[in-house]
Amino acid sequence: MAQISTANLKLFIDKMARHANQWDGAAVASGVSAPGLYAEVDPLKYGLQPANAQIALLRTLVLTFADLEQTADFVAPVRDLYDGLPQVNAVRLWSGLLDALDAHAARYNAMIAGDRSPLDALLRVLNVSTPTLRAHGDFNKYFGRLSPGNVFCALPYTLATITVTGATTATFAHVAAIDATLYSTGAIALRNTKGEGLTSTTVTLTCVKSGVAQSAAFTQTHTTPDYLAAGPDADLLYSDCTGLISISGGNTGDTFSVVILPDRPINGA
């Protein structure tokens, strides 16, 4: 028997987070648009019926595992959850599947100090050198079991704001570093919050990557509200933005925010 594949584990935990989110009726970002960066394609529909569709898809996923012993590990709790769909307390029904994930992960990964569960230990191994697979913030919101290093923010997380005062001048206001008690690091982007008049604005900032302060340049060319301009790289290692170095092509009155991006949306899980 082999450990569940990273691809299947990602589908598993994303479907779990999406189901709990929809069942609870909580909102997931649907208005952030940036091709190639982060896009919630369609707004989620909320309530028990659309949430239950995720359980049917999870059941199908388990039944398609190539390793029959993996299927055996998960089919019973998925079946129980599937058969229990009419019940109102859907989140309680997840406990069996969470326990099955922990039991499966415990076969292959030793827990160390700081791990909150065998699933947490499995993700820690995957993320030991670079972030390979982290869970959506809503997974921990509803189920817990994971340490912050294995969780990414559910929505774009604002680090700082910028108000343009001229072609080469702007006011920088630090908001907060990403909350390390809740989330790990992530990719960084410049979000257009009011740029109707801009043509092309390049902003160079001091950002913190892997704990080290360094220069990072962003070029915002879109007047679309909430459009996200990529940073210098797509590395998931940024935690803060601490200062403005320079700005060129600025248009007085435009405003931006510097954000950490979620690793991926879950509305397509």
Q: Which two three-digit tokens encode residue 210?
A: 């892997």
Q: Which residue has the tokens 């369609």?
A: 42
Q: Which residues of the chain have pLDDT under 50?
A: 27-44, 86, 88
pLDDT of residue 76: 78
pLDDT of residue 68: 82
Six-digit token string for 132: 């390979």
Q: Which stretch of DSSP H or E encloses residue 160?
A: strand 157-164
- What confidence tens digit (pLDDT) does each residue in 31-58 have? 344 434 444 434 445 555 566 666 777 7
Return the domain boundaries, the chain: 6-152, 157-260
What per-residue confidence (pLDDT) applies to 41?
38
pLDDT recorded at residue 92: 59
pTM of the model: 0.86
Can you give the length of the chain in residues? 269
**Structural contact between residues 268 and 53, judged by C-beta atoms closer than 8 angstroms:** no
Sequence-separated (6 or more) residues with CB below 8 Å from residue 89: none
Q: How far apart are CA 95 and CA 103, in angstroms?
A: 12
Residue 29 is classified by DSSP as -
